Structure 1
């Protein structure tokens, strides 16, 4: 029997119900109307992703209650990576009211990421 907590991460085997629930929940999260959503597509083997990880954590803390942050491992969630045409990691995608408003592949300074997000948080 499968459990249903939302994790876009890291278990290798999931039942069909869990996979469908993750897809549904991911779609619900990025279509949130209450606050912007930053999706960090990453891979465990990626050096720039490891560099960006503490920056993304800092951003999540700085904008707590104003921004949702979702980390998606592209190796374990290939469907989501394909759907958003992620061809390199890290790739950041910012959604506001369900619409993609910004996207960038590659590492960037934390202050630059924060400036971009500030345009969309209230």
Structure 2
């Protein structure tokens, strides 16, 4: 879990995507997240987390529906939502947290 703390304790917003390979909704988000990462450049970070490989973390964060998207800034969760989102919506939300 300390590695997770390092991932989210950044000055830029970090978008976490909790997904599973067997879940079609969450795998269909991968191209969207690539677009978001490209649009952000170095002003933010996008990290995909496989719930099957990170069960302890997923349980600790109470991940129920997939995909679950979270935005952390300076180690604090500032936004969370389950379900698919489009790139423009995510970029707009992330822009609110870019200084």
TM-score, normalised via structure 2 length: 0.94
Query: Does structure 1 residue 44 correspond to structure 2 residue 21?
Result: yes
**Aligned counterpart for 1:59 among listed residues 22, 36, 55:** 36
Paired residues for 1:17-96 under 5 Å: 23-32=1-10, 34-96=11-73
* SS of 2:30 mapped into structure 1: helix
* SS of 2:79 mapped into structure 1: strand
Q: Separation in 2 of the partners of 1:115 and 1:62?
A: 11
**Aligned counterpart for 1:105 among listed residues 66, 82, 85:** 82
TM-score, normalised via structure 1 length: 0.77
Count of aligned positions: 99
Q: How far off its partner does 1:27 sit?
A: 1.2
Cα distance per residue 1:21-57 (max 9 Å; x no partner): xx3222111122x211111000001111121110001
Structure scoring higher RCO (CA < 8 A, sep ≥ 6) equals: 2
Q: Separation in 2 of the partners of 1:111 and 1:36?
A: 16
Consecutive unaligned residues of structure 2, counting only runs of 5 or more, are: none
Aligned residue in 2 for 1:15: none
Judging by fraction of residues, say which structure has more strand.
2
**Over the residues paired in the alignment, what is the CA RMSD in angstroms?**
1.0
- Please tell me whether Structure 1 or Structure 2 has the larger radius of gyration of its CA atoms: 1
Q: Separation in 1 of the partners of 2:2 and 2:74?
A: 17
